[in-house]
Amino acid sequence: MSRKPFFTGIVLAALLVSLVVTAAAPAHAQDRRLRVVASFSILADVARNVAGDAADVASLMPLGANPHAFTPSARDVVALSEADVVLIVGAGYEEGLIDVLHETGGDNVRVASDCVPIRPVAGGEPTGDPGEDHAHEENDACEAHHEAVYGALGIDEDEGSAGEFLGVLADLACGGETHNDDIAGGDEHAHAAGSCDPHVWTDPANAGLWALMIRDVLADLDPANADVYAANAEAYLGELAALHRDIGALIDAIPADRRAIVTNHLAFNYLAGRYGLELVGVVIPGGSTTSEPSVQQVLALIETVQEYDVPAIFTETTVSESIAQQIAGETGAQIVRLYTGSLSQPGDGADTYLAYMRYNAQAIAEALE
């Protein structure tokens, strides 16, 4: 995918304005709160729970935006450059931000998923070499994070949503021939078969790993409030443990022969892996939402829905469901909408990560009962 010169010009102009405004200011003034920008609303909510009242957290993408298709404005670029830290999911999730983060140097970017075991998109194994620079994180800091999270949630680390620690997530993209090529050349390979599934947060254990990564990042930037961040992260792990128990009870109540699911795109791979659902098909191939299925793929999915007697196709609030509606019309399956890449508007039942996960789990359980 080629760069867009016009957009690049906007980016550079916005950065110039930002640099002029902030040139006289230090990178982080101790007399003000940290400014944290998270790429999208779900990550921002986890970060707010860790930051508490000690730091300001904003979501770059507005509620309801499709993160796979989001393109930052000039104002967004300024916000990114002025933040003390920018939190992203990594694994190629922020497709539209790769060029911007590349051009700004990414000095203030932290990948929240650096300690998360990454599952491959169906069709192969994760690509890329973990690399020496990140090997120590897997053995030391990440090992400690894993022990804390899995201990708090009371789960076996070797069961459920297992994947491979990659380390290369710091390159901001995941998949294709080389990760550096993905950054420089766009998202052409970012979700090819065998690349990484970035939708890690649908497993609460991974949200816990996010929380501990964010705790460490904020404490490093703002050591005066390190105890606050640590206490907030520990309390949040307790809430995630309750969430994990609640979701487990809902899914356990579904008869074993009713646990096959079809989703609009590959957004619930981690949820299915953790709780014993069988993901038998997706409408939109790959891990992104920017592709379309072929006629042959649609026909094959219709056969799958009929073969497994799938009662519902789970679509989402941020992605078109037109093809899913066609498949439902052919098979008699109902359409059930879930939240995937965005929290809901306040008061709509999924306006925090914890509420979002409970909403989706309840909707899945009711559709499959």
Which one of 219, 243, 267 terminates a domain? 243
Q: Do the beta carbons of residue 78 and residue 29 sit within 8 Å?
A: no
Which one of 212, 243, 274 terminates a domain? 243
Whether 312 is in a domain gets the answer: yes
Q: Tell me, yes or no, whether 52 and 184 share the same domain.
A: yes
- Domain residues for the domain of 103 are 5-243
pLDDT of 13-35, one tens digit each? 444 444 434 433 434 445 689 99
Q: Tell me, yes or no, whether 171 and 260 share the same domain.
A: no
Would you place residue 107 in the very low, low, confident or very high pLDDT band (cuts 50, 70, 90)? confident
**Confidence check: pLDDT of 189 > 50:** no
Query: For the chain, what is the domain count?
Result: 2
Question: 117: which 2 tokens?
Answer: 């075991």
Whether 248 is in a domain gets the answer: no
Whether 36 is in a domain gets the answer: yes
For residues 256 and 146, give the distance between their C-alpha atoms in angstroms, rounded to a whole number. Answer: 29
End-to-end CA distance of the chain: 44
Whether 49 is in a domain gets the answer: yes
Would you place residue 37 in the very low, low, confident or very high pLDDT band (cuts 50, 70, 90)? very high
For residues 67 and 305, give the distance between their C-alpha atoms in angstroms, rounded to a whole number. Answer: 28
pLDDT above 70 coverage of the chain, percent: 74
Which one of 183, 211, 243 terminates a domain? 243
Q: Tell me, yes or no, whether 299 and 225 share the same domain.
A: no
pLDDT of 325-361, one tens digit each? 999 999 999 999 999 999 999 999 999 999 999 999 9
Q: Tell me, yes or no, whether 239 and 261 share the same domain.
A: no
CA torsion 90-341-70-107 (nearest 10°) is: -30
pLDDT above 90 coverage of the chain, percent: 53
Which ranges of 23-164 would DSSP assign to H, the alpha helix? 41-51, 74-82, 98-104, 132-139, 141-153
CATH number of the domain at 313, please: 3.40.50.1980
Q: Which of 51-60, 66-75, 149-158 has the highest mean pLDDT?
A: 51-60
**Confidence check: pLDDT of 220 > 90:** yes
At a CB cut-off of 8 Å and minimum separation 6, what does 223 contact?
Answer: none
Whether 195 is in a domain gets the answer: yes
Whether 184 is in a domain gets the answer: yes
